[in-house]
Structure formats: C-alpha cells, structure tokens
Amino acid sequence: MVGRRVALGGLAVAGMAAAMPSVMPMALAQPAPRTPRVVFINPGRAGEGFWDDVSTAMRAAADQLGFLLEIRMAERDRSRLRAMAIAAAQEQPAPDALLLVNEEQTAVPALEAAVQRGLPTMLLINELSGDDLARVGPPRRAGDSFIGSLSPANRTAGRRMTEALLDAARKNNLRAADGRIHLLALGGELGTIAGMERSRGMYDAVAAANDVILDRHLLAGWQQGEARLLTRRYLDWAIRAAIRPTAVWAANDPMALGAMEAFEEAGRRPGKEAVFAGLNWSAEALRAVGEGRLLLSEGGHLLGGAWALVMLRDWFDGFDFTLDGDASLQFDLSPIDAASLSYCWSVIGERRWQGLDFRRFTRGERRRGGDMRQAYDFSLPAILASAKGAG
C-alpha cells in the first residue's frame, strides 16, 4: 500500500497519506447485538494446515470474545470463493459482521455488495492493492461499512528470512567455488498479494548483499510436492553448471519442507550443507527447527483471524480500532528458531489457542486495566505472555 507505515507495539499502520474521515464504531451508533454473528469466508480447504489453523484459532477467540462465528470453506476454488463471499454479503438475515480474505484478489465484488448494504466488513491477511484499492478505496473512505483491514507485514518477514539465511550461510562458510552464496527462492502464486510481498522482501535483502547469487525464483504454488519436484530439477541443473547451492528461501513452510526432501534425496544434509527458511509456524516445520534441519519459521499470521475478532470486539464495544484515524493495519510476524523454540513450542507448536487470553488484547480490556495505549500488540512475546496469564 502506498503511504506511511509506522510500527507501533508489534503492530504497524499502513495507510494513505491523507487523513480519512472518522467513522464511529457500531456500538456508539446503536446498541451492539448481545452475541454478534460473524461470518468468515475461509479461502482454504478442509485439512489444509494453515487455513485449518486460522479457523481453529478464530473459534478459540470467538468463544472468549462472545461471537457466534460461522466459518465457510471455499475449498481453494476461486469461483466458489467469490460466489460465497457475495452470497454472505447479501444473505437474509444479514450477519452482524463479515470477514473476507482478498485471496487471488477476489474480495472486491463482495466488499462492494457489503458496503452498499451497510454491512460492517473487514479484510484480513490479504489486503487491497493496485487497481482494487483504486476502485474501492481504503477503509472508512466515505464513512462506509468497509471498517478496516488487517494484514501481516509480509515484505519485512521476507527480508528478515533472507538476511537470516545469508548470515547462517556466511557463519558456516556455505559458499560455492566462486565464493558466492547460491540461493534458491520458492514462491507461491503470482495472484497472491502475501506471496508477492514476501518475495519483494527477499529481493530487498539480495539486492543489499554483494556475495549472493539468486539462481532461481520458482513458483511452487504453496505446495510441498511441487516444491520438491522443482528443487530436484534445480539441483540437477546446479550439478550440470558445477554450482553448489547452499541456501533455500521458501514463502511458506510446506515449500521449505519439500525443498529439504529434495536435498536429502540428493544426499545433501539440510542444516549442515545447506540452510533453509520457511514461513507459517507449522508444527512440522517447528519440529524441523528443533532437529536443526530448518533454520527458522516466520509466522504469526495464522492468528490473523483471531486478531480481527479482537478488533471487532472493540468495534462492537465502542472502542474504535483505528490508529491515528487509519483503519488499514499491519502486524509484524516473528521468527521462531532453535533459540526460541523451547519456550514457544507448548503454545505455538501444540496449537493451544484455547489457552490464550484473547480478551487481554482488546483495547477495552486494556483500558479497564489502566493501559491507554492506542496500538495493539500482537507480537510473539505478547502471545506467550497471554498464555502464561490465561485461565
């Protein structure tokens, strides 16, 4: 998104330079429903690790925050996702709020239908950009019911992953005969904003280094099997070119795991002869971190839906969630590596979302405790502190 981006307390605000009209929360305009009904259109399919994690965390948050949450799965079907989102925006009786993901840039028709109806709607994980942003405008542009967006700082995470990979390769002298670090990058899909932003961060880090060659940037569609196949072909090419690849950047954990499998099949030891980084905080990836095979897994966005519910709770309770009048918010992701895994595993690795105290993240709860800070803190330390204080 064009404009300022200011990091505050584990959360960032990404908005337009011009101030936007102030919009009062629903709770200040009319009594909030006793138990608001919130519909979330999940773009993933049942059994798909990341999107299952998103749903599970949202259910835990909804139970604590007093929402009736309905999750509808689009099963990774772009046409189905678009149709389901439009249907939810138009259904009778209307939900009290609608949560959408701009996966493959499909959210605009449903968002426009929701705004026309006055249905409070938020975007999460993938925000608007380019032509879509120009068409719809930012949240609260004209006091409408597009009340906000919440997305992870993907570009920052992509850069940080790359920098960690390169530092580890230098530390362990993982260089080819030409003295360079040869990097393979595995991206997701061209139409996914999150994947493109992570890749931009990777390119930022490569451009700032003078001892790195990006051999290939391949799109594996987020899939472990495809990443394994593409990495196999890359290794075959590297042998013919007399190149020793020693670093692999992957835009999600399944692709990192697939690349590691290909290296192992080629007789190369992940963590010893090459370093790998992924993103998702998946349990399998965190186990690989513990085994020393994976350098790190960035993550935190699997809680993005839960954080959106935290913000909605504030909205219904009369505590508007904007920062300095801006309703397009970003939150930072965090790496989990071998040093931090031991104190993260019981919560993150074991997916104990019910053990988190989601209420303590709300602006209303914090103000009752004397904390008047405007920014939300969705950082890893705050998550772990919430787990210690829950129950």
CA distance linking residue 329 with residue 15, whole number of Å: 8
| 39 and 114 fall within a common domain | yes
Provide the pLDDT for residue 4.
34
| 342 and 294 fall within a common domain | no
Count: domains in the chain: 2
Q: What is the CATH number of the domain that holds 9?
A: 3.40.50.2300
| 117 and 97 fall within a common domain | yes
Say yes or no to pLDDT of 232 above 70. yes
pLDDT in tens, 63-113: 999 999 999 999 989 999 999 999 999 999 999 999 999 988 899 999 999
Provide the pLDDT for residue 176.
94
| 192 and 288 fall within a common domain | yes
pLDDT in tens, 263-289: 999 999 999 999 999 999 999 999 999
Helix, strand or coil, per DSSP, at residue 37: strand
Provide the pLDDT for residue 156.
98
Residue count of the chain: 391
Q: Containing domain of residue 288, as a range?
A: 155-299
The mean per-residue pLDDT over the stretch 323-330 comes to 89
| 87 and 16 fall within a common domain | yes
Question: Which tokens sit at 232?
Answer: 């196999």
**pTM for the structure as a whole:** 0.89
Cα 103 to Cα 51, 183, 308, 375: the distances in Å are 12, 28, 16, 26
| Residues near 215 by beta carbon (within 8 Å), at least 6 away in sequence | 182, 183, 184, 234, 238, 243, 245
| 40 and 160 fall within a common domain | no
| Element of type H or E holding 183 | strand 181-187
| 279 and 332 fall within a common domain | no
Most confident of 136-145, 185-194, 382-391: 185-194
pLDDT in tens, 103-139: 888 999 999 999 999 999 999 998 888 888 889 889 9
| 360 and 385 fall within a common domain | yes
| 270 and 316 fall within a common domain | no
pLDDT in tens, 153-200: 999 999 999 999 999 999 999 999 999 999 999 999 887 889 999 999
Pick from 254, 271, 299: which residue ends a domain? 299
Provide the pLDDT for residue 31.
55
